């Protein structure tokens, strides 16, 4: 238990039992796309938001309509269709979708995917009376690739400025959770509340974790220079096993990962926040909800323990039997937890 923290568990029976990027937060080492690898291996508008709509960006930052058209169809249908907009940031642009009215929620996707990770979560939040903003992080989806050194938390600040928002509630999964925490320690006055789904954490020491599963992925992207192979190997990683065990989710995640396989191209452009968030948790005082799957990897569980010890008043919910991609694996539990938390910390009405 952390200082004033609350911990609970959710079984597999659904919300009646209610109680991070997919990558991010490694200390030091090579940064590959949106992932930091340990030295040891460890307003153009486009209609549509889901698979089969619009275009995806290739590794040169250009739209690759041919690849999108050739991609196999999936049974997944996006929860809503909207017009993409673009926001200028230093050295590039962010692709975002802004829907609804009310208190602002910014959804930050996990690593190696894009904003479509949240497709099923938008309508419930709109129906609850929120303004829902989600965007492709720099170097993901249809946002531009980094042209030079940048920081994700700076991009988020510029997006809020572009939208005229003095503050917002941040909802981050995996890498998106790490970005939300980095933003909270750098710009505390602009954060109303935090919702963290299996988050990363800048400054977390991944050298204490068994990262042997990552060695084939590292070889695929650095030695073989094959980002598609790296993406496919990543889909076979232990912490994605629960989601990939569901054929429908597996097809959906495969499409997201292969659309974004260019993220596995080695780059060194993201600058770490300094000091890292792991050393500044005492400065975060906003209401915080932490969601974690009991089948997520040990490193992610260690991050959750660190956050619970360091964030006063944090509410932690462990979802029994879930893996890393919580909003896809267990949407009912996640939506109910979000509803209850937001009613208290950022009410819409």
- State how beta strands 104-108 and 168-173 pair: parallel
For 63-72, how does the pLDDT look when each residue is reduced to its tens digit (9 = 90+)?
333 333 333 3
With beta carbons less than 8 A apart as the criterion, state whether 198 and 292 touch.
Answer: yes
How confident is the model at residue 209, as a pLDDT? 86
The predicted pLDDT at position 273 comes to 95
Q: Strand, helix or coil at 292?
A: strand
**233's torsion region: left (phi>0), alpha (psi -120 to 50) or beta?**
alpha
How high is the pLDDT of residue 268? 59
CB-CB neighbours of 195 under 10 Å: 28
Most confident of 17-21, 142-146, 183-187, 209-213: 183-187
**For residue 189, what are its two tokens?**
């006055």
What band does 5 get if pLDDT is binned at 50, 70 and 90? low
Which range scores top for mean pLDDT: 27-36, 167-176, 339-348?
A: 167-176
pLDDT confidence bin for 48, thresholds 50/70/90: very low
At 12, the pLDDT band (50, 70, 90 cuts) reads very low
Q: What is the pLDDT of residue 119?
A: 96
Return the CATH number at 320.
3.40.50.1820
Look at residue 31 and tell me whether its pLDDT is greater than 70.
no
- C-alpha closest to that of 274 among 159, 151, 138: 151
Average pLDDT rounded to a whole number, residues 285-308: 96
Position 9 scores a pLDDT of 65
H helix or E strand, kind and range, residue 318: strand 315-319
What is the pLDDT at residue 138? 95
Is there a domain that residue 1 lies in? Answer: no
Mean pLDDT for the chain overall:
81
**Residue 173, CA distances (Å) to 82, 106, 110 in order:** 22, 11, 5
Q: Which two tokens stand for residue 208?
A: 């204490």
Cα separation, 10 vs 348, in Å, equals 25
Q: Which residue has the tokens 């190997």?
A: 233
pLDDT for the residue 81 = 61
Reading the block at residue 125, the tokens are 């939040």
Task: State pLDDT tens for residues 92-119.
Answer: 999 999 999 999 999 999 999 999 999 9
Tell me what pLDDT residue 102 has: 96
SS3 readout for 13-82: CCHHHCCCCCCCCECCCEEECCEEECCCCCCCCCECCCCCCCCCECCCCCECHHHHHHCCCCCCCCCCCC
Is 288 in contact with 216 (CB distance < 8 Å)?
no
When pLDDT is averaged across residues 300-306 and rounded to a whole number, the result is 96
Tens of pLDDT, residue by residue over 244-264, are 999 999 999 999 999 999 999
pTM: 0.81
* Count of CA atoms in the C-beta half-sphere (13 A) of 197: 30
Residue 326 has pLDDT above 70, yes or no: yes
Please check whether residue 110 lies inside any domain of the structure.
yes
Question: If pLDDT is split at 50, 70 and 90, which confidence band does 267 have?
Answer: confident
All residues at 6 or more sequence positions from 239 whose CB lies less than 8 Å from its CB, including other chains: 295, 296, 297, 300, 323, 324
Q: Residue 145 falls within a domain, yes or no?
A: yes
3-state helix, strand, coil in the chain (%, to 5): 40, 20, 40
| 100 within some domain | yes
* Residue of 279, 273, 272 whose CA lies nearest to 310: 279
- Whole-number Å distance between alpha carbons of 195 and 67: 34
Nearest to 186 by CA among 158, 160, 164, 153: 153
Q: Which helix (H) or strand (E) covers residue 315, if one does?
A: strand 315-319
Report the domain count for the chain: 1
Mean pLDDT lowest for which of 1-5, 223-227, 311-315, 332-336? 1-5
Domain region containing 169: 6-345
How far is residue 201's CA from residue 110's CA, in Å, rounded to a whole number? 13
């Amino acid at each position: 238990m952390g200082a004033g923290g609350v911990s609970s568990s959710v079984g597999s029976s659904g919300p009646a039992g209610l109680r991070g990027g997919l990558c991010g937060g490694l200390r030091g080492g090579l940064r590959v796309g949106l992932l930091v690898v340990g030295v040891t291996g460890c307003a153009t508008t486009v209609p549509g938001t889901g698979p089969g709509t619009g275009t995806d960006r290739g590794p040169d930052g250009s739209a690759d309509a041919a690849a999108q058209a050739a991609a196999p169809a999936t049974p997944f249908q996006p929860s809503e269709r909207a017009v993409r907009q673009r926001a200028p940031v230093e050295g590039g642009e962010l692709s975002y979708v802004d829907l609804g009215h009310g208190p602002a929620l910014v959804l930050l996707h996990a690593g190696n995917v894009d904003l479509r990770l949240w497709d099923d979560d938008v309508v419930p939040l709109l129906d609850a009376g929120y303004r829902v903003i989600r965007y492709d992080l720099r170097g993901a989806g249809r946002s531009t690739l980094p042209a030079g050194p940048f920081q994700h938390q700076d991009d988020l600040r510029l997006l809020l400025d572009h939208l005229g928002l003095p503050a917002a509630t941040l909802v981050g999964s995996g890498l998106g959770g790490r970005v939300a925490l980095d933003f909270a320690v750098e710009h505390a006055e602009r954060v109303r509340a935090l919702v963290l789904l299996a988050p990363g954490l800048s400054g977390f020491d991944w050298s204490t974790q068994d990262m042997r599963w990552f060695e084939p992925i590292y070889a695929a992207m650095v030695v073989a220079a094959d980002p598609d192979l790296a993406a496919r190997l990543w889909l076979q990683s232990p912490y994605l096993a629960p989601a990939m065990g569901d054929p429908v989710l597996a097809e959906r995640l495969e499409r997201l990962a292969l659309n974004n396989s260019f993220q596995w191209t080695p780059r060194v452009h993201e600058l770490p926040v300094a000091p890292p968030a792991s050393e500044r948790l005492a400065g975060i005082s906003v209401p915080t909800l932490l969601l974690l799957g009991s089948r997520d990897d040990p490193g992610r569980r260690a991050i959750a323990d660190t956050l619970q010890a360091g964030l006063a008043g944090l509410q932690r919910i462990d979802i029994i039997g879930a893996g890393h991609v919580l909003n896809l694996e267990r949407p009912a539990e996640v939506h109910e937890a979000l509803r209850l938390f937001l009613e208290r910390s950022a009410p819409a009405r």
